[in-house]
Amino acid sequence: MNMFFTTLMQLVWPLMAVFALIVSTLALKKHPGNGTNFMVIGSAITLLTSIANTALTVGMQNALLNLENITAAYLATGVFSLIGQVLFLLGLLLFINVARTADDQAIGL
């Protein structure tokens, strides 16, 4: 039963990444450029790394993977995940800055 909940929780992260990718894609369609392209790229990288982490965890639980290679694989996915998160946040910051500037210009500041 414990393994069932562990596997179920491993699916939460990819689902959150899918949601972020959908929101980023919608923002890109509505406001092309303005940082939304970084948001889409970052959320896509995060989705791929969360899927890889889930596959690594399931493979490790079922003894399908060599223990020596798992550490290197988790390190690689961690680095790529960090890059994806930084790209997403950079895009979000740019998007907010553009939207704020547009609001300031609309009210005459």
| Residue ranges of domains in the chain | 2-102
Q: pLDDT tens digit string along 67-108? A: 778 888 889 999 999 999 999 999 999 999 887 776 666 666
Q: Which two tokens stand for residue 31?
A: 């406001």
pTM here is 0.81
Question: What local confidence, expressed as pLDDT, does residue 90 receive?
Answer: 96
Strand intervals (E) in 1-109? none
Neighbours of 34 (CB within 10 A): 20
Q: Which residues of 71-106 are buried (b: 16+ CB within 10 A; e: fewer)?
A: eebeeebeeebeebbebbeebbebbeeeeeeeeeee
Joined together, the tokens standing for residue 97 give 């800055």
